Structure 1
């Protein structure tokens, strides 16, 4: 029986009716519940703030008994439950329960949030009152210090009762609509089922390739017109289906293999077609986007304006825009109108190209050229200036000449180091430096690195601590690992004042080993910290150049570690020192 179109129509109407009425009811129920809960939270927040003004001074003076009396007095004048909690979670006063019999509230989420200086709002089951409650807690401060919190709460019975009444109305509406639709759908299905079955049988034969099949139905109503349409379709379908199928296959093949994203918009700006490259590039699904307006899908007002401009002017336009979520992406789109034989507008085709890498390379190239020019200009200018001074007569003064030549030698050495670091960084980035990994005992590599730097360390009277287990090993190129440690320890020595300390530690984290170089130096400001691994970026430019830095050491560290499959990072606090860390594969899992 359920295979009949009559009952299918009936069942479909019933399902649609039930789903629609249920969806409408529950779509209203959610916002209604949230609105009721929000209103209740606002009321409780206002009460909590007023109560805080009353009990706050007494709590600040540690007059806990007076706080309890005020809570009892205020509790008799409002319907809400009032609780005052000290900073350690001790319940000082409660308008519904005996505070001395209540457990410590330090673990209550709303109390924890209030003690952090924020408003705490939680809906949960009360272990004390054995019912679901809504809680709002606010902090109580004394001279900027949080000394406790005031919490106001009420049971959710009011909200639940209102929602219960609304649910009963929704259920009644569903039942009534179902009965009405059932009656109507049975009548409609009965009148449609017989001729539709005949048309269905004929359509099935046509679908199976019998294009000679005809439908015999003499009525002139809509079903009769449908029968005539099917007969016409059978005559024309054979010659059209192959042509359409062939064209579609060609189009789908081309679009699916294009690296550029292609989107077709109808004259109303709605999406009608999108190839896989566009789905990936724009982070949307064709299935979810088809038929929707481009502004609703792409959420880009600039792109929508350009689409409208193409439709208005009937000319192609190129537009560039940036997507920022979930990652920054620069896209270039070529928009062109699509016209019919009568020059009527059929829509707009948009071809998207991801030019993020191109723009990034342009920016990196520009920054690199600017930085290299700046770094080279300083020593070259110094060398040229002192050389000209010598040629102008300073050679006749041996002491002055010696001092100038010493400066020229120092600047030339710095220039040579800069060029060497640039070449090394270029080789590492290009992957031309082979990474020969083997198991290395981390402690031995650290001690070997420190041995080379011992005179410098002793000159500054620095305390060196090594906190690395003897058995800890990493999979790494030993020379590259020593270069990483040398750069990090050298930085720590440079920026740690005389008498300070440097700690080199290592620990196993799963399949990786984390190595940290900590110092007690001047520290790095929060705005500088995210950029310390950039090429030529210096926290203190004058001091870095004075101490011989090229600005490339940490960039080299970053690329060496990444070539090993690891990560780098830095943490710092001004006046207390900095920690630079990196990870390498653990030899036990290598």
Structure 2
């Protein structure tokens, strides 16, 4: 911001004048006080000498009161001194300003400070306001000593107006000198400050340019004084600052680019656990704005108490601490965090928290564990059955032809089931690894679906299930692998036939549009609960764990269907209502 014209000069002159006035005032106060004290001391000495002289004069006639009165009147005649003679008990014996008749009415003076001091053989001094004379008075009291004892006191009093007059005269002289000096200072100071202000304005304009990162022009100042040195130093500082800002901007850009493109979320906190920095991944992960989060406490920004507990532990131990937390909002996630301690400065960055989303890793681990458990279970059941049949046959059942035939048929079914399970597992493994090639060709989707329905004819007829064909009469042509597409509908129609009750129906519908063909297979079976609909495409997932396995499924069919549809660029969805039925919808893009 630019200074107003002569603003600095006015302030400087005002400051100088103020300092000078204060100095003059202090000088006036101290010098006048010294002069007044010196004058007062001189007055005290003079009055003390005169009081001692009176004490010597009145000592011989101390017991003759009339002569005492004459002596004090004679002594003070022609002066403004008031002399009073007091005996050792404080009674006034003579006073130059009072008549003998008034002396009897005067108060006892023994309690007056100067009288009390004189009675102790000291010179008593007191300055106080006289109610009688309506002015401030100086009182000097000296003892009248006879035969080694104090017989009385001579007190002399004089107005201190002379001291005040001297004090006023000194102040007047000082004031006159001060006014003249201020005028000289104002004139010479104005000339000096104008030149100084002009040079300071040059420096100010240069500083404003440097502040706005305009390095095009240096500050040029004439002379060889401190202002010139300041300008040269500022030019040198600007040069260093320019290079440092350039380096900092480069480093900042690098760090910003790294943080912005990191797949991990990063939050930096200071020693009081306030957010100092957060990268875009942290914004996305916790659902906040970095600008709004900066300055807030960590728990206020992330709303996760367990995270703060881990950070507290890292701060307490002064070392890197790792842990895991679970997020519920804005999305359910499992995060592995590392708190790295960077420094001790409370206001700067003390800890950097790195968040690694391991939700998918945990899901895959759980899927792998569940897959191993399911495979073990699926293999164990037929193998146990086969083992039991074989042991029974070896124990003698083979000698009974009917029993042997029945056991062999059951063993054949278990072996067939094992074969399907192994085949489905191999197929699923190939698809998930992307090793399953697709032999795409133009397919009449309606014809392929009807061929699958015909294959299930005996099974459908046994349960008296009606297939309602709403595929239409026009060919539904898509590009796909014939065997894989048939496998999709084999699984869908097989499931519909298995879970539909007797005397029910299965609805087949096709809806072509500009993007592709949507085919739905709808049954009237028991349906699937809403909370597990999304899981039906998981490997070995069963809606009802207690449902008998003699329906023949391996638990991998829908998982294979999902991967085949994704390999064709399409998708498969499921919509179900318990007690009403289930509809699987497959979309094949053109």
TM interval, short-chain normalised: 0.5 to 0.7
Find the partner of 2:507 among 486, 503, 506: 503
**Residue in 1 aligned with 2:527?**
523
Query: Once the 2 structures are TM-superposed, how far is the Cα of residue 324 of structure 1 from its aligned partner?
Result: 3.4
The within-5 A match list for 1:204-283 is: 204=209, 207-209=213-215, 213=219, 234-239=235-240, 241-243=242-244, 245-246=246-247, 249-250=250-251, 252-253=253-254, 256-257=257-258, 258-283=262-287
Find the partner of 1:403 among 400, 403, 406: 406
The reply on whether 1:323 has 2:327 as its aligned counterpart is: yes
The reply on whether 1:314 has 2:314 as its aligned counterpart is: no
Matched residue SS, 1:504: strand
Q: How far apart, in 2, do the equivalents of 1:321 and 1:229 lie? A: 57
The reply on whether 1:567 has 2:571 as its aligned counterpart is: yes
- Over 3 Å counting, the alpha-carbon distance change for 1:462 and 1:336 in structure 2 is closer
The answer to whether the Cα contact below 8 Å between 1:256 and 1:276 also exists between their aligned partners in 2 is no
- Over 3 Å counting, the alpha-carbon distance change for 1:564 and 1:399 in structure 2 is same
Query: Once the 2 structures are TM-superposed, how far is the Cα of residue 351 of structure 1 from its aligned partner?
Result: 2.4
CA RMSD, Structure 1 to Structure 2 (Å): 3.8
**Residue in 1 aligned with 2:298?**
294
Long gaps (5+) in structure 2: 5-196
Query: Once the 2 structures are TM-superposed, how far is the Cα of residue 393 of structure 1 from its aligned partner?
Result: 2.9
**Residue in 1 aligned with 2:394?**
391
> Which deviations, in whole Å up to 9, do the C-alpha atoms of 1:527-553 show, x marking residues without a partner?
553432221122345655212111111
Q: How far apart, in 1, do the equivalents of 2:202 and 2:323 lie? A: 54
**Residue in 2 aligned with 1:337?**
341
The within-5 A match list for 1:102-117 is: none
Q: How far apart, in 2, do the equivalents of 1:465 and 1:343 lie? A: 74
Query: Once the 2 structures are TM-superposed, how far is the Cα of residue 414 of structure 1 from its aligned partner?
Result: 0.6
Query: Once the 2 structures are TM-superposed, how far is the Cα of residue 236 of structure 1 from its aligned partner?
Result: 3.9
**Residue in 2 aligned with 1:82?**
none
- Over 3 Å counting, the alpha-carbon distance change for 1:369 and 1:267 in structure 2 is same
- Over 3 Å counting, the alpha-carbon distance change for 1:457 and 1:238 in structure 2 is same
- Over 3 Å counting, the alpha-carbon distance change for 1:247 and 1:425 in structure 2 is same
With 354-363 and 538-547 compared, the bigger mean Cα shift is at 538-547
The answer to whether the Cα contact below 8 Å between 1:333 and 1:350 also exists between their aligned partners in 2 is yes
- Over 3 Å counting, the alpha-carbon distance change for 1:232 and 1:371 in structure 2 is farther
**Residue in 1 aligned with 2:481?**
477
**Residue in 2 aligned with 1:380?**
383
- Over 3 Å counting, the alpha-carbon distance change for 1:311 and 1:529 in structure 2 is closer
Find the partner of 1:419 among 419, 422, 425: 422
The answer to whether the Cα contact below 8 Å between 1:442 and 1:468 also exists between their aligned partners in 2 is no
Query: Once the 2 structures are TM-superposed, how far is the Cα of residue 5 of structure 1 from its aligned partner?
Result: 9.0
Q: How far apart, in 1, do the equivalents of 2:575 and 2:433 lie? A: 29
The reply on whether 1:465 has 2:468 as its aligned counterpart is: yes
- Over 3 Å counting, the alpha-carbon distance change for 1:532 and 1:202 in structure 2 is closer
Query: Given the two structures, how large is their TM-score scaled by the length of structure 2?
Result: 0.58
Find the partner of 1:549 among 545, 550, 553: 553
The answer to whether the Cα contact below 8 Å between 2:265 and 2:355 also exists between their aligned partners in 1 is yes
Query: Given the two structures, how large is their TM-score scaled by the length of structure 1?
Result: 0.58
Count of paired positions: 391
- Over 3 Å counting, the alpha-carbon distance change for 1:211 and 1:389 in structure 2 is farther
**Residue in 1 aligned with 2:580?**
576
Q: How far apart, in 2, do the equivalents of 1:333 and 1:305 lie? A: 12
**Residue in 2 aligned with 1:199?**
204
The answer to whether the Cα contact below 8 Å between 1:205 and 1:213 also exists between their aligned partners in 2 is no
> Which deviations, in whole Å up to 9, do the C-alpha atoms of 1:191-245 show, x marking residues without a partner?
x9x98896244331574337963799xxxxxxx9xx9999866544544553564
Q: How far apart, in 2, do the equivalents of 1:288 and 1:344 lie? A: 18
The reply on whether 1:513 has 2:517 as its aligned counterpart is: yes
The reply on whether 1:351 has 2:354 as its aligned counterpart is: yes
> Which deviations, in whole Å up to 9, do the C-alpha atoms of 1:150-182 show, x marking residues without a partner?
xxxxxxxxxxxxxxxxxxxxxxxxxxxxxxxxx
**Residue in 2 aligned with 1:454?**
457
Query: Once the 2 structures are TM-superposed, how far is the Cα of residue 478 of structure 1 from its aligned partner?
Result: 2.8
Long gaps (5+) in structure 1: 7-191, 217-223
- Over 3 Å counting, the alpha-carbon distance change for 1:583 and 1:433 in structure 2 is same
**Residue in 2 aligned with 1:186?**
none
The answer to whether the Cα contact below 8 Å between 1:337 and 1:345 also exists between their aligned partners in 2 is no
- Over 3 Å counting, the alpha-carbon distance change for 1:413 and 1:228 in structure 2 is farther
